[in-house]
Amino acid sequence: MKYLRNKLLNRLLKTACILLPLLLLAISLPVLAAGVAVEVDAPDEVEVGEDFIASVDIAGVTDLDCAVFRVRFDPDIIDLPTTDDDSDGIYDSITDGEVGGKTVKLLAMVWKESGLIGMTAQVQPALSGATGDGYIVELHFNAVSPGTGDIGLEHTSLSNIEAESITATWTGDSVDIIEAPSPVVGGTVYRTNKLALLAPWIGLRLAGLAIIAGAIIFLRRRGVWS
């Protein structure tokens, strides 16, 4: 009996040694799969002529030091306003980010006709590392014409304070640009009613003709008008 009990115990121990590592691996897989995510966050819908902000968000990063990437957009649908003073790589339409409570400074180069923005982002102070969530940059676009404005990320790279590459998933976004609706008041669309505009003028003409006809009849009865 004692032999059988020891044999059963040994089998249970062997089974536990096999299953325990598998169980630990299964528990750790979701954490490993989550990783660092970088994605564009833009409004779902914007009217032609309106300004809107698209941010490049980041989540789950540790000791971020630098990010280098390009943003591609459709210049026929959306526009990134620039001025002649933007030649130093700092644009009014491109604002600094914030990750884990730390400022992210941007240097950029914009090719408007090609719909391309080259960016280098540096956590401040340098080599201090940013950990957590936030946004790397905010882009201030203007809706130009109806259509779907895609905003993509390419040639992407993240590095930490040890100059090591950070693996991340990069995802773009899109915004639907629509025509502005006709102006309404109280739910009624304004439409020009030509007859309503002419009504006062027609009324005055008819009143004037009635007065003239009355005067002719009166004068005829008096014998003044033959």
- Could you report the per-residue pLDDT of 153-190, keeping only the tens digit for each? 999 999 999 999 999 999 999 999 999 887 665 555 55
- List phi, psi (to 5°) of 87: -70, -15
Quick one: pLDDT at residue 226? 55
98-116 confidence digits (pLDDT tens)? 999 999 999 999 999 999 9
Quick one: pLDDT at residue 10? 52
Quick one: pLDDT at residue 120? 97
Quick one: pLDDT at residue 33? 36
Is the pTM higher than 0.75?
no
Class of residue 216 by CB neighbours under 10 A (exposed 0-12, middle 13-18, buried 19+) = exposed
* Residues of the chain under the 70 pLDDT cut: 1-34, 84-88, 183-210, 212-226
